Amino acid sequence: MSVPHLISFDICPYVQRAVITLLEKGVPFERTYIDLANKPDWFLALSPLGKVPVLKVGDEVLFESAVIAEYLDETTEPRLHPTDPLQKAKHRAWIEFASAGLMSLWNFYVAADDKAFAAARADIESKLDRLESVLGDGPLFAGTSFSLVDAAFGPFFRYFPVLESLGETGWFDGRPKVKRWADALLSRPSVREAVQAGYADKLTAFIKKKEGVLAARVANSR
Ligand SMILES: N[C@@H](CCC(=O)N[C@@H](CS)C(=O)NCC(=O)O)C(=O)O
């Protein structure tokens, strides 16, 4: 049987969730990168929402990162989702929260005026506060065993070193549990290897192209 084939974009955080899950499980896979600014026809024919990730499994096409992660989890070891229905539902809910966090980050780095920029920063900070209030002893979401929630948050935390390099700092001040979780994820091989060398430069270039408040501040400080 052919190996799963992941259709990717180089800085997409949702794609990274699938890659992290595949790497944690040691599942061999093929990866094809596309340019979302210039989507190939074969991709548009394949992807019902025109979004990555898409995972091809034989002739079948899966889309939506949470669905892809659960499919991989149900078909390969080790299991990263809890088996208890309540715990599993809770993990799914926090994966949704990670997606909301990615939206907040997007709103921050594309914000076109100071008001939107400040509101997006406050929104991210309130989400970090919420995380601080639910985390346990760590270092991971559910203690010491890696879960799909960790796979969803690895790409979320990857934004912060880049934002810090652009002068936006202080995200983890007073949030030691979130900091410990972010550090644990960002040093984990599956999370590190989910992007290629040059990721930070590519994200920085993407942010600059958006020409928002953050891009202008970076330009003015140089
Ligand atoms: N809910 C989707 C979100 C995926 C998503 O938004 N992917 C972005 C790239 S990170 C995309 O393909 N956007 C389409 C576009 O930019 O045209 C998932 O979890 O897979």
Q: Count how many Cα atoms sit within 13 Å of the Cα of residue 52 in the half-sphere of its side chain.
A: 24
Q: Locate the domains of the chain by residue range.
A: 5-75, 85-220
Q: Whole-angstrom Cα distance, residue 174 to residue 170?
A: 9
Q: Does the structural domain 5-75 have CATH classification 3.40.50.300?
A: no
- For residue 131, report the distance from its CA to the centre of ligand 1, in Å: 24
Asked if the model's pLDDT at residue 222 lies above 70, the reply is no
**The ligand 1 atom nearest the CA atom of 12:** 10
Rounded to an integer, the average pLDDT of 24-43 is: 97
Asked if domains 5-75 and 85-220 share a fold, the reply is no
For CA atoms 107, 112, 116, 118, give the dihedral sign.
positive
Q: Whole-angstrom Cα distance, residue 23 to residue 154?
A: 13
Q: Is residue 12 annotated as a catalytic residue, yes or no?
A: yes
Do the bridges between strand 5-8 and strand 54-57 make them parallel or antiparallel, or are there none, so unpaired?
antiparallel
Q: Judge whether 177 and 138 are in contact, CB under 8 Å.
A: yes
Ligand 1 pocket mutation pick from 51, 99, 203 by most atoms within 8 angstroms of CB: 51
Spatial CB neighbours of 106, under 8 Å, sequence gap ≥ 6: none
pLDDT attached to residue 158: 98
**The ligand 1 atom nearest the CA atom of 63:** 20
- pTM comes to 0.97
pLDDT attached to residue 1: 65
Q: Give the residues surrounding ligand 1 with Cβ less than 6 Å away.
A: 9, 12-14, 36, 50-53, 64-66
Q: Which of 6, 7, 11, 12 is catalytic?
A: 12
The pLDDT tens digits for 71-96 are 999 999 999 999 999 999 999 999 99
Q: Whole-angstrom Cα distance, residue 204 to residue 209?
A: 9
The pLDDT tens digits for 137-192 are 999 999 999 999 999 999 999 999 999 999 999 999 999 999 999 999 999 999 99
Q: CATH top-level class for 85-220?
A: mainly alpha
